[in-house]
Amino acid sequence: MSAPIKMVLDLDTGIDDALALAYVLGCPDVELVAVVCSYGNVTVGTATRNTLALLRMLGHPEVPVYRGVDRALGAKGEFRPPAGVVRIHGENGLGGQELSGWCYAAPRSGVDYLAQTLDEADEGLRYVPTGPLTNLALALRATSVDARALPRVTFMGGALTVPGNVTPCAEANIHNDPEAADAVLRSGLPTRMVGLDVTHRVVLTRAETARWRALGTPAGRFFADMTDHYIGVYEKSNPHMGGCALHDPLAVAASIDPSLVGCHAANLRVDLDGATRGRTVCDPDRLRVAEKDCEVALGVDVPRFLEVFLAHVERALT
Ligand code: RIB
Ligand code: CA
């Protein structure tokens, strides 16, 4: 038996982040080493609380959780999710499904933890951010290691060939901190971008959540109700999709098994000004550089991903 893949997640724990967490915990090939939390779908405090409670619900209270930064680079006040985001993920980020009990995060800062993890990382480490890239941008500033030598980071965010989901150009995770995303994408760090180009193609329906409810476990009921809230939002905003997009689970899946996505190699940057602020684009200054540091996912094996997703999540909820 080969050694498990060591993974660190960086979540702004809303609904699809929770699904990504369940995917990882249900995957027999992965050891979840820690979770760093971010603002985005909710405040960083709520993301931290949600993560701790979900880990306990899913039988893994031993996984350490670190509280990351509470705002974008250069932002003046703590990030508060706008009304549109509250509508999508619910007031508590989990579709209004109540979590009981008090939980405490490890006292250490998420950025310190991440910087040390990058300093010590061997090539097997998988770090997967599925929220804004602020924690990573700050950790890259703090680490002494050359970003080009670090293991590839698979992140959920961006849109190269399709419109954004916050503005016509910007996807939510990049929109929340374009400066951080630009710093990461131009640092030389090897990355794999799992953006709306592919995540809008992997869709979950109420037929699958009914299966989770039928498991008869508290976690099965919680995840079914939480995800039905998310599907309900999509039924209104994107009725043509027939369900909800599995953004964050696809990113963790592609990190574990890159053969699930087909990629185009590119050097990217993020537009920081004007109407296109937050757009991920090919960096004009590096078009002729032969080495490309980002693998942009433009294709996805939908049936294979959904099969693995359902198997892993069902295992985690049982
Ligand atoms: O655009 C989708 C992304 O924004 C997902 O990561 C979702 O959880 C939100 O953070
Ligand atoms: Ca997310």
For 1-27, what is the mean pLDDT? 96
Q: State the CB neighbour count (10 A cutoff) for residue 153.
A: 25
> Which atom, in ligand 1's list, is nearest to the CA of 248?
6
Q: Which pLDDT does position 160 carry in this prediction? A: 98
Q: Which pLDDT does position 80 carry in this prediction? A: 96
Packed helices 15-25 and 44-57: angle between N→C axes, nearest 10 degrees: 40
For 71-91, what is the mean pLDDT? 95
Ligand 1 pocket by Cβ (under 6 Å): 12, 14, 16-17, 40-41, 130-131, 156, 165, 171-173, 247-248
Gap between the Cα atoms of 316 and 318, Å rounded: 6
Q: Which pLDDT does position 102 carry in this prediction? A: 65
For the chain, the average pLDDT equals 96
Per residue in 159-215, pLDDT tens?
Answer: 999 999 999 999 999 999 999 999 999 999 999 999 999 999 999 999 999 999 999
For residues 191 and 153, the answer to whether their CB atoms sit within 8 Å is yes
In terms of C-beta density within 10 A (0-12 exposed, 13-18 middle, 19 or more buried), how is residue 162 classed?
middle
Domains identified in the chain, total number: 1
Helices (H) and strands (E) in the chain, counts: 12, 13
Pocket of ligand 1, candidates 10, 11, 15, 17: which has the most ligand atoms within 8 Å of its Cβ, to mutate? Answer: 17
Cβ contacts of residue 237 below 8 Å, gap of 6+?
A: none
Q: In Å, how far are 114, 131, 208 from 165, measured between CA atoms? A: 28, 14, 25
Per residue in 109-125, pLDDT tens?
Answer: 999 999 999 999 898 99
Q: Is the pLDDT of residue 230 over 80?
A: yes
DSSP state of 59: T
Q: Which pLDDT does position 187 carry in this prediction? A: 98
Residue 13: give the domain boundaries: 5-317
106 band by pLDDT with thresholds 50, 70 and 90: confident
For 234-261, what is the mean pLDDT? 97
Q: Which pLDDT does position 81 carry in this prediction? A: 96
The closest alpha carbon to 252, from 292, 205, 199, belongs to 199
What is the sign, positive or negative, of the torsion defined by CA atoms of 66, 72, 75, 77? negative
CATH number of the domain to which 304 belongs: 3.90.245.10
